[in-house]
Structure 1
Amino acid sequence: MIAYEDDNWLVVNKPTGLSTHAAVRGGPGLVEWLELHHNLKAFVCCRLDKGTSGVLLFAKTKKASALAQDIHETLQAEKTYHFISHRPYKGKEGKNTQWTINEPLAGKECSTQFRFIESGHGCYCYEAVIKRGRTHQIRQHAALAGVPILGDEEYGGRSFSRLCLHSSRLNWPGISAEVTAQFPDSFSFLLKGKERILQDAAVAWERRMGWPGTVSNSYRLIHRGELDLPVSIDIYDAYLSIAAFSEQLTSGQLKSKLAPVCDYLATKIEWRGALLRQHAKNPHRKKLIQDVICWGEPIPDSVLAREHDLFFEVNINDSQHVGLFLDQRDSRRRVSKTAGARRVANLFSFTCSFSAAALAGGAEVVFSVDLAGSTLARGKENFAINGLDQSGRGKFIQGDVCKWLSRQERKQSADPSDYAYWDLIICDPPVFASAGKGRGFHVEQQWPELARQIRLLLSGNGIALFANNHRGGKPAYYLQELEKHFGTVTQLSPPMDFPVLEDQPEHVRIYWCEV
């Protein structure tokens, strides 16, 4: 992740698909991610396009940031890029093919020096060298030269799943040696004509580059939609948990198709055993839910997932859920950093990972409320694993969340001046759930009331974190209902290992709401 660091400069190997700054919905841009997870304050010196990977420079102080501007203006830095196009430059493929394109940019003459590197299977690799950093013109210059970068233009009748532009080297005053980033596997696979599933697996890795592994041993390696197979692949410690959603293929058939992907992942991370479970679209078709296949080392019933200094017990063999929602990793970190000296309520608490994060962050008290006693029991185990069970500041309430909220509202209405308001409330409800006695919970129907009641129970500087996984719901509806009650509502992106993919519904909606 970090390619170079000293007192003034920080150079990282940027994954593709991530913004330098925060994304449109508030994250996870690299600046925010570095501060959120590594407490690193980074000042932007130059940018890479969201789709560009490779060497990216930050300043660590405001003084260094001002110096960086002078370095850019005086053209003291040199950056080298590599990119893939599906076209040869004017029909030539010779290794001595070089050219320069000059074009005014921001009132100054700018040039990009291009050189042909190699070709294979209808793809062409080029090198581009520039001496400007804050803005660059490689993409437009490549298009002007007739070698548009793959990702900007279709290849073989399909859009490639990433922009094939990579910042490979940086020569920067004050850094004694040039900083480099390895040539992307996806580029090599294109030039070698590797099968598409391997190309897509490489792009999936390049969206992560091992960054989640710097803070956790458990994260998503392949998100649903990243492969041309309906699967997701998570790693928990050293074990793969593969969820499949196919009505046509059995688990055995999917395992065979995924073999090259699993072999490729083994070159990046160590995994010892794998479980593939087929999930039916119709949950009443029990036999498909039981279509499970395992290989490699047997997976134990209890595995410890680590996030920063916290551990959570997960069970990959469980047919319902392993016990930890990986898509809330960034949210747990925000809760931990915000919870200090606050009264916290974690609604629909499941196995209480948010509660553990809040208490570890110094919360005054944390109430975990859930209807399922079995998940609360697992939550208590998570508290014990992390040494949080002896403080007495963790409270576990087994009951219907909606009824608990109504009781709290009655207490608040009876005596507002004496009511103990909450400073932080987490609400991550299921999409559907049974509430007993023939009653059911549907997040879309209950959302407005949840927003109203939670706002009512918050203190004057209170914060609420809302989330839901209703893939079929309308995004505007959930946001607008929260905006009716909260002064500031920020929709956050999920962690980098849960990318928002084109033509795919949002996997999870996360809202940070301030009174």
Structure 2
Amino acid sequence: MRSCWRSAVATRSSSISRPRPIGDARWRRAELGAQPDLTAYRLFHGDAEGAPGLAIDRYAEVVVVHADSAAVLERWLPEIREDLRDFASAYVKVHPRRASRLTGQDMQQAAPAAPLWGLGVHDVEAIEGGVRYLVRPDAGLSVGLFLDMRDVRAWLRGNARGLSVLNLFAYTCSFGVSASLGGARRVLNLDLSRAYLEWGKHNYRLNRLTLDERDFVYGDAFDWLGRFARRGERFDLVIVDPPSFSSSPFSVTRDYPRLAEAAARVVAPTGILLAATNHAGTSDERFEAWLQNGLTRAGRHGQLAQRWHEPSADFPLAPGRTHPYLKVRALVLD
């Protein structure tokens, strides 16, 4: 992909005469692009970089374009084609307000399986901090790796040694992979999608990790947290990262305190609750109140060990926003 960054420099020089938000953003990320152990990051964050409602992610030689509407995509399509033409393939995702309610036909229109240009690509191997992840650009609206969690995955690799870990809402198990690579004694990945758990197993294999089928559990988080609590089973680290919008009855704004309570009940003494939400309408203060509410109901006390927001290098804060959209806390419980 070195040719991409030569093109980025050329794009920058040609943009002096007229604004080119996407080309300029590529130039600002040249340092990220030069890292040999990083081929997955946000290439363009339009809300903060001159194109509200548009975002572009890089996964090795493939770009994935996210638009809030077909009108936004149409507005920026000429610049996308011009400024990203050196990437081998591009895919488009048009995100509706209620993605969980999409029918199969609606999903095909929102996230076409065919690329915008280039050859069709089903599997892409992306690298982050030297860790390999399987990304599927043609797999609906979510392609397998949430790039804004890069710093949290790095923290897990550096802090999980010897721990037992429960990874709730595991998705494709990137947190599980990170904790395992960090030397965790055991990681149990739990999700309500068998397909995502199988995807997670691919990620384990990509990184040559020992794979135990018993550590990939299909089921509901509340159901399993109740089982663990009744059995007296505890974990040194419990990861809670529920989707903001889901086809399940779970609602982040209504149910997060209850989730934090259930998770806190299975955290071992002096263990860690790692809790996250990407709900943009929730402030840091409100999120922390949810966590405090849950801990109080569980009879636990927590001390803040670490906090994260989206990485500023490729997720700059949009003008006028009072708080980042991603909130992550690591709390040490008594």
Where does residue 244 of structure 1 map in the other structure?
Answer: 67
Where does residue 215 of structure 2 map in the other structure?
Answer: 395
Go from structure 1 to structure 2 and tell me whether the alpha carbon gap of 1:473 and 1:493 turns closer, same or farther (over 3 Å shift): closer
Q: Give the match's secondary structure for 1:277.
A: strand
- In structure 2, stretches of 5+ residues that fail to align are 1-8, 296-301
How many angstroms apart in 2 are the aligned matches of 1:320 and 1:202?
24
Partner amino acid, structure 1, of 2:54: V
Using the TM superposition, give the Cα deviation of residue 394 of structure 1 relative to its aligned residue in structure 2, in angstroms. Answer: 6.9
How many angstroms apart in 1 are the aligned matches of 2:41 and 2:192?
27
Where does residue 211 of structure 1 map in the other structure?
Answer: 32
Where does residue 450 of structure 1 map in the other structure?
Answer: 259
Q: What's the TM-score, normalizing by structure 2?
A: 0.82
- Aligned ranges for residues 302-321 of structure 1 at < 5 Å? 302-321=123-142
- Aligned ranges for residues 5-404 of structure 1 at < 5 Å? 192-194=16-18, 196=19, 198=20, 200-201=21-22, 203-205=24-26, 207-211=28-32, 214=35, 215-225=37-47, 226-249=49-72, 251=73, 254-262=76-84, 266=86, 271-283=87-99, 286=106, 288-290=109-111, 294-390=115-211, 392=212, 395-404=215-224
Go from structure 1 to structure 2 and tell me whether the alpha carbon gap of 1:513 and 1:202 turns closer, same or farther (over 3 Å shift): farther
For residues 241-277 of structure 1, give each alpha carbon's deviation from its aligned partner in whole angstroms, at most 9, with x where no partner exists.
101112535x5554224334325xx5xxxx2111223
Where does residue 7 of structure 1 map in the other structure?
Answer: none
For residues 349-371 of structure 1, give each alpha carbon's deviation from its aligned partner in whole angstroms, at most 9, with x where no partner exists.
00111101111111110000111
Contact 1:278 1:290 in 2 (8 A): yes
Using the TM superposition, give the Cα deviation of residue 481 of structure 1 relative to its aligned residue in structure 2, in angstroms. Answer: 2.6
- 2:329 aligned with 1:511: yes
Where does residue 487 of structure 1 map in the other structure?
Answer: 303
For residues 455-501 of structure 1, give each alpha carbon's deviation from its aligned partner in whole angstroms, at most 9, with x where no partner exists.
22222221222111111234321112324531226431222212222
Partner amino acid, structure 2, of 1:327: D
Using the TM superposition, give the Cα deviation of residue 343 of structure 1 relative to its aligned residue in structure 2, in angstroms. Answer: 0.4
Using the TM superposition, give the Cα deviation of residue 393 of structure 1 relative to its aligned residue in structure 2, in angstroms. Answer: 9.1
Partner amino acid, structure 1, of 2:307: Q
Contact 2:236 2:272 in 1 (8 A): yes
Partner amino acid, structure 1, of 2:251: H
Contact 2:305 2:330 in 1 (8 A): yes
Using the TM superposition, give the Cα deviation of residue 387 of structure 1 relative to its aligned residue in structure 2, in angstroms. Answer: 1.5
More helix by share: 2
Partner amino acid, structure 1, of 2:145: L
How many angstroms apart in 1 are the aligned matches of 2:96 and 2:51?
18
Q: Give the match's secondary structure for 1:248.
A: helix
The structure number with the bigger radius of gyration is 1
- 2:278 aligned with 1:469: yes
Partner amino acid, structure 2, of 1:388: L
Go from structure 1 to structure 2 and tell me whether the alpha carbon gap of 1:319 and 1:296 turns closer, same or farther (over 3 Å shift): same
Partner amino acid, structure 2, of 1:499: P
Q: Give the match's secondary structure for 1:211.
A: helix
More strand by share: 1
Where does residue 499 of structure 1 map in the other structure?
Answer: 316
How many angstroms apart in 1 are the aligned matches of 2:12 and 2:202?
46
Partner amino acid, structure 2, of 1:501: A
Where does residue 8 of structure 1 map in the other structure?
Answer: none
How many angstroms apart in 1 are the aligned matches of 2:12 and 2:58?
25
Q: Which stretch of structure 1 is more off in the superposition, 291-300 or 485-494?
A: 291-300
Partner amino acid, structure 2, of 1:259: R
Contact 1:220 1:498 in 2 (8 A): yes
Q: How many residues align?
A: 309
How many angstroms apart in 1 are the aligned matches of 2:32 and 2:130?
16
How many angstroms apart in 2 are the aligned matches of 1:262 and 1:373?
35
How many angstroms apart in 1 are the aligned matches of 2:41 and 2:145?
10
Q: Which stretch of structure 1 is more off in the superposition, 490-499 or 251-260?
A: 251-260
Q: Give the match's secondary structure for 1:464.
A: strand
Partner amino acid, structure 1, of 2:331: C
Where does residue 163 of structure 1 map in the other structure?
Answer: none
Using the TM superposition, give the Cα deviation of residue 290 of structure 1 relative to its aligned residue in structure 2, in angstroms. Answer: 4.8
Go from structure 1 to structure 2 and tell me whether the alpha carbon gap of 1:309 and 1:410 turns closer, same or farther (over 3 Å shift): same
Using the TM superposition, give the Cα deviation of residue 381 of structure 1 relative to its aligned residue in structure 2, in angstroms. Answer: 1.5
How many angstroms apart in 2 are the aligned matches of 1:444 and 1:479?
12
Q: Give the match's secondary structure for 1:242.
A: strand
